[in-house]
Structure 1
Amino acid sequence: MTSDDAAGAPEILRYAAFSADPEGGNPAGVVLDAAGLSDGRMLAIAAEVGYSETAFLTPDPAGGFAVRYFSPLAEVPFCGHATVASAVALAERAGQGHYLYRTAAGEVPVEVAEDADGTLRATLTSVEPHVTATGEADVAEALALLGWAPDDLDPALPPRYAYAGARHLVLAAATRERLARLAYDFDGLAAFMTARDLTTVQLVWRAAPDVFHVRDPFPVGGVVEDPATGAAAAAFGAYLRALDPAAAPATVTLHQGEDLGRPSTLHVDLRTASPRVRVSGAAVAIP
């Protein structure tokens, strides 16, 4: 008997993260007890669910959870929307409060509380982020694969690599119209990202100092675009703080998924005393 046979068929939950509407947000698969599941079985479940990521939780003796994240194609070190989705699923069964996720990227505290309207909201605190410069050649190649021209970029928000549990390339569009037109070389961008250990490309447009619209191509996960990306939101918060610590907003609102018909709202809190970034959002079960 294999370990998967011994574990039996796990319960697979489906939640929409960063939305209180199951028709919005980013869908995530959730397995709250993945004890005994092999890597192959988890990957197969993620492929069967078909969402950009599925979170697999295993309670550990210290009272937290060992958490692994799989896209339909591969394991990823950290996923923000599946963290929010699974934390809300936990809270619905075990109660609101604090949970500790032990991920491949490091320890991620998560808090779940109820809003005034009864919506459950999860807030994750990222691992320590870092932001690095991009070479001109990398930017030129990424723009070519996206079908963007150099003057499509906002010069006030220069390209950077940003990490807060997963690595992303941040590119800022000069206009909302440029952001709205997304048609890229899927295989070419996937190869570009794999060579640079990127999880998504974080495309942003600044609507106000503390409000951004964002899109996240995710070809390395077998998905054209993510409707809401918590890990990229945390990385983007670190990007803003690194760009100009004195001018960085205390909190930032990100609107994502509108161009996909799955509107999502992500809140980024940069008021932490540590370099870590807090990202919060609602989640709801998908019927």
Structure 2
Amino acid sequence: MTEIQRYAAFTADPRGGNPAGIVLDARGLSDPEMLAIAAGVGYSETAFIVSPEPPPPPPRHLGGPSKAAGYDNPGGPSTYRVRYFSPEIEVPFCGHATIATAVALGPGEHVFTTNAGDVPITVDEHGRATLTSVPASVDDLEAGDLSALLKALHYTDFDLDESLPPKVAYAGAHHPVIALGTRAKLAALDYDVDALKQLMTANGWTTIQLIFRATDDTFDVRNPFPVGGVYEDPATGAAAAALGAYLRELWVVPDDAVLNLRQGDDMGRPSRITVTLTPGDDRVRVSGTAVPITG
């Protein structure tokens, strides 16, 4: 029987953050079986550690009795092949499930080989994990797509922050970034689920990163995720990394900035995400804690 663990990421309280399912040993599970498990768990994503190709050496025992399909790199981190499924689709990369899975594995250095590329993660003794994204990039948002996106979100041009133009940012998955002019407009999220889902599917977007700049280094964010069968994510590590790339690309923050993201507050699941930029590195670091969900 497949063992499923449940963790809340980007929080120290299991009642907050974004819940993630974790299967530390998914060897032998087919794609339909993993999708069915993710649908049964019902969270926005479930992470599955699967056997690398070619088959790895015998698996290690990590974090107690559970087995994970990892393999040792002498003198380096433990490496795992990881896949992520929402209740409806597989996604190339998921930040909150990465943080949760790394914490479940235990303190140390890990590398997750994802569909988007290799993602290094470090976990300290206090259960705080930091992932390093794949190389990030930022592209223009086509005028027609922006018009359709605003219509689906029930926004107009007048709702936007003129100093932060809409773009599409990537750090493992693609996320349009839409900056709003007021916190109240962010709090009043109400979108056309079918229209937004169709638009996101057509463009290969994973979530929509809606933001409000509260201070120079603090942002309130929300993330619709209808393509995954979830109305909204209370914490989104992949979109957080993409936002860091976006802000750096626009010279909104310095290239050594440490940013604080507040997410999930409007859903009653407060999440806190730290984004760190490093000069000369086109990757983005995303940090947070994760705790088991019991009961």
For Structure 1 versus Structure 2, the TM-score category normalised by the shorter chain is over 0.9
Q: Which residue of 1 aligns with 2:94?
A: 79
Once the two structures are superposed, residues 95-147 of structure 1 have per-residue CA deviations (whole angstroms, 9 ceiling, x without a partner) of x1100100000000000013xxxx41110000001100112221111111111
TM-score, structure 2 normalization: 0.90
* C-alpha contact (below 8 Å) 1:203/1:216 kept by paired residues: yes
Structure 1: how far apart are the matches of 2:22 and 2:94? 12
Alpha carbons 2:92, 2:114 under 8 Å: kept: yes
Please show how residues 44-55 of structure 1 align to structure 2 within 5 Å: 44-55=36-47
Unmatched 5+ residue regions in structure 2?
Answer: 51-68
Structure 2 CA distance for aligned equivalents of residues 55 and 133 of structure 1: 31
Partner in structure 2 of residue 101 of structure 1: 112
Paired residue for 2:14? 22
Task: Please give the residue correspondences for 1:29-178 in structure 2 after superposition, counting only pairs within 5 Å.
Answer: 29-58=21-50, 59-61=69-71, 63-91=78-106, 96-114=107-125, 119-178=126-185
Query: 1:245 offset after TM fit, Å?
Result: 7.0
211, 228, 233: which one aligns with 1:226: 233
Contact 1:216/1:227, CA 8 A, preserved across alignment? yes
Give the match for residue 269 of structure 1: 276
Whether the aligned pair in 1 keeps the contact of 2:247 and 2:253 (CA below 8 Å) is no
1:183 aligns with 2:198: no
C-alpha separation in 1, matches of 2:281 and 2:253:
15
Residue equivalent to 1:257: 264
Q: Which is richer in helix?
A: 1
**Aligned position for 2:219:** 212
Going from structure 1 to structure 2, the CA distance change for 1:112 and 1:272 (only over 3 Å counts) comes to farther
Q: 1:80·1:230 contact (CA, 8 Å) conserved in 2?
A: yes
**Which letter does structure 2 place at the counterpart of 1:90?**
L
Separation (CA, whole Å) in 2 of partners of 1:138 and 1:131: 16
Q: Which amino acid is 1:68 matched to?
A: R
The root-mean-square deviation of aligned C-alpha atoms, in Å, is: 1.2
Q: 1:273 deviation in Å?
A: 3.6
CA–CA distance in 1 between the matches of 2:23 and 2:218?
33
CA contact (8 A) 2:276 2:285 kept: yes
> Cα distance, 1:247 vs. partner?
3.9
Q: Structure 1 residue 181: deviation in Å?
A: 0.4
Task: Write the distance in 2 (CA, Å) between the matches of 1:89 and 1:159.
Answer: 36
In 1: Cα distance, 2:136 partner to 2:157 partner: 27
Deviation at 1:149, TM superposition (A): 1.3
Q: TM-score, normalised by structure 1?
A: 0.92
Shift in Å, 1:249: 6.0
User: Does the 8 A contact of 1:272 with 1:278 survive in 2?
Assistant: no
Identity of aligned residues (%): 58
| Structure 1 position 271, deviation (Å) | 2.0
Q: Contact between 2:122 and 2:131, CA under 8 Å: does it hold in 1?
A: yes
Distance (whole Å) between structure 2 residues aligned to residue 244 and residue 135 of structure 1: 21
Provide runs of 4+ in structure 1 moved above 2 Å.
58-63, 245-249
Deviation at 1:60, TM superposition (A): 4.4
CA distance in 2, matches of 1:34, 1:65: 11
Q: Distance in 1 between matches of 2:48 and 2:119?
A: 15
Q: Shift in Å at residue 248 of structure 1?
A: 5.1
User: Structure 1: 5+ residue runs without aligned partners?
Assistant: 1-8
Number of residue-to-residue matches in the alignment: 271
- Superposed CA offset, 1:217-269 (max 9, x none): 00000000000000000000000110117745611000000000000000000
Matched residue SS, 2:81: strand
In 1, distance between residues paired with 2:279 and 2:27? 34
